Amino acid sequence: TKPENVYLFLCVLNYGLSLWYAFWFNKIWAVPKQKFAFLAEFNFARFHFLRPLVIYVSFALALYLIWRMGRGWKWLVYAAVAAQLMVLAPFNEEYTYGVHYNAPTFREFYASEQFKEIKEYIGRPQDSYRVASIGLHPSIAQYNGFYTLDTYNNLYPLSYKYEFRKIIEKELEKNARLKQYFDEWGSRCYLFVDELGKRYDFKKNSKKTINNLELNTDVFKKMGGRYIFSSVPIMNADQNHLALVKTFDHKDSAWRIYLYETR
């Protein structure tokens, strides 16, 4: 196969992947998804992640074709590689999230020592109660051995999702965007709060508070829930039958954890 033909194929593939991804979440796809179950069961838009590979192989082939054009064109290849490195260097993942977004490190994110203190303070076997998180990713509690009602999961009973939804029903009614997000994409089974939106990464230097929380704590308790880990203070906790038990800080943690217990 000639490099020119491979390059042309990759250009067409790149366009096809982009077009596929652009239409995947469009309502136009609703009809074929309903008609053919496998289209809804598997997210084919994930193939969009192949684009960087396709783009860089295309880039390498383009440089090869230019290189073959003769000695006078080789300077352009060197210039293109240098320019690409200059663009990539300041935008690599470590630099972008570590410097520009001040993202927590692995240790700060999972905060093992802090959650060990919480576990010891509660003083009960972790399998004897359930927890949920607000303004905090549930994987943090899960990583530290807690049994959670909330989760990021693509395979769990639909009946569980419906029951969990009752806990945050009033919060979803306040926010049409959150309601659509929870109802139409099942993976994030979170305690969504209108005042926080989709965010679940409020670090300990945050000034954010929750003032008008409306949870159905009866359903929460019915499902086994007893504690809520919140990264922001809940100002109307009493109205939700929640009591602030203790606040936990740790130098190696990105979070300040407000531990609430159901009453």
CA–CA gap between residue 134 and residue 197 (Å, rounded)? 11
Confidence band, pLDDT 50/70/90 cuts, at residue 147? very high
DSSP label of 69: T
Instruction: Find the mean pLDDT for residues 176-191.
Output: 92
Nearest CA-CA partner of 234 in 218, 247, 251? 247
pLDDT digit string, tens, across residues 214-245: 999 999 999 999 999 999 999 999 999 999 99
Q: What pTM did the predictor assign?
A: 0.77
For the cut 80, the answer to whether the pLDDT of residue 157 exceeds it is yes
- pLDDT value of position 99: 66
Mean pLDDT in the chain? Answer: 90
Per-residue burial over 119-147, b if 16 or more Cβ lie within 10 Å, else e, is: beebeeeeeebbbbbbbbbbbbbbebebe
